[in-house]
Amino acid sequence: MSTESKASKSPLDVVKWLFAVVFIAAAVAGNVVYADDFPLLYRVIAVVVLMAAGLGVAATTAQGKSFLQLLKEANIERRKVVWPTRQETQQTTLIVVAVVFLMALILWGLDSLFGWLISMLVG
């Protein structure tokens, strides 16, 4: 993962972020305002298009580009993960269930013992 954070702040980025916010706000406001006037399908299509436009504009900013780079690097790291086999997963699950059951028995026994001792002391 790169540790570079050379996000240059340009006035054009501010304008892009403003457009992105306007697109997303228009999607939300339009969905609310036109709730009774248009069928649900048309509103869903409009919201998806406006949200995609807003995210697309945001992705062209310096921060958006660095975020996309982070996602690419995270995907590369995700591919390096060695997932357990089905047998390993089943064995680990059985061990966890057995330990939880054993601890439940121990705690039940301690609770019963302490309850009995307190009842002997109190009355």
pLDDT block averages, 10 residues each, the chain of length 123: 57 92 94 91 94 94 94 95 95 98 98 95 88
Who contacts 21 (Cβ-Cβ below 8 Å, separation ≥6)? 54
- Tell me what pLDDT residue 113 has: 96
CA distance 88 to 78: 20
- Tell me what pLDDT residue 7 has: 52
- Tell me what pLDDT residue 11 has: 85
Who contacts 47 (Cβ-Cβ below 8 Å, separation ≥6)? 27, 28, 30, 31
- Tell me what pLDDT residue 105 has: 98
- Tell me what pLDDT residue 8 has: 60
Taking the alpha carbons at both ends of the chain, their separation in whole angstroms is 66
Amino acid at residue number 39: P
